[in-house]
Amino acid sequence: METVGQIIRTKRETLGLLLRQVAAHLDIDQAILSKIERNERKPTKTHITKLAEILKLDKDELMVQFMSDKIAYEIADEDCANRVLKVAEKKVKYLQSHLIKTKL
Amino acid sequence: METVGQIIRTKRETLGLLLRQVAAHLDIDQAILSKIERNERKPTKTHITKLAEILKLDKDELMVQFMSDKIAYEIADEDCANRVLKVAEKKVKYLQSHLIKTKL
DNA sequence: TTACATTTGACACTTATTGTCAAGTAAATT
DNA sequence: AATTTACTTGACAATAAGTGTCAAATGTAA
CATH number of B19's domain: 1.10.260.40
Confirm whether A103 is domain-assigned: no
Q: Please give the residue that has the higher pLDDT: either A84 or A100.
A: A84
Arithmetic mean of pLDDT over chain A: 91
Closest to B85 measured CA to CA, from A24, A87, A32 = A87
- Report helix, strand or coil for A52: helix
Helix/strand/coil (H/E/C) assignment for every residue in B41-58: CCCCHHHHHHHHHHHCCC
**Residue ranges making up the domain that contains A33:** 4-76
Q: What is the pLDDT of residues A46-97, one digit of tens each?
A: 999 999 999 999 999 999 999 999 999 889 888 899 999 999 999 999 888 8
CA dihedral A3, B92, A74, A58 (to 10 degrees): 40
Confirm whether A48 is domain-assigned: yes
pLDDT at site B33: 98
Confirm whether A22 is domain-assigned: yes
CB of B44 lies under 7 Å from some atom of strand C: yes
Nucleotide nearest the Cα atom of B30 (by C1'): D7
Confirm whether A68 is domain-assigned: yes
Closest to B68 measured CA to CA, from A63, A71, A44, A100 = A71
Number of structural domains in chain B: 1
- List residues of A whose CB lies inside 8 A of any B CB: 1, 60, 63-65, 67-69, 71-78, 80-85, 87-92, 94-96, 99, 103
Q: What is the pLDDT of residues B5-36, one digit of tens each?
A: 999 999 999 999 999 999 999 999 999 999 99
Q: How far apart are CA B83 and CA A68, in angstroms?
A: 9
Closest to B56 measured CA to CA, from B19, B15, B21 = B15
- List residues of B whose CB lies inside 8 A of any A CB: 1, 60, 63-65, 67-69, 71-73, 75-78, 80-85, 87-92, 94-96, 99, 103
Confirm whether A81 is domain-assigned: no
Closest to B43 measured CA to CA, from B92, B8, B1, B95 = B8
Confirm whether B104 is domain-assigned: no
Confirm whether A10 is domain-assigned: yes
Confirm whether A102 is domain-assigned: no
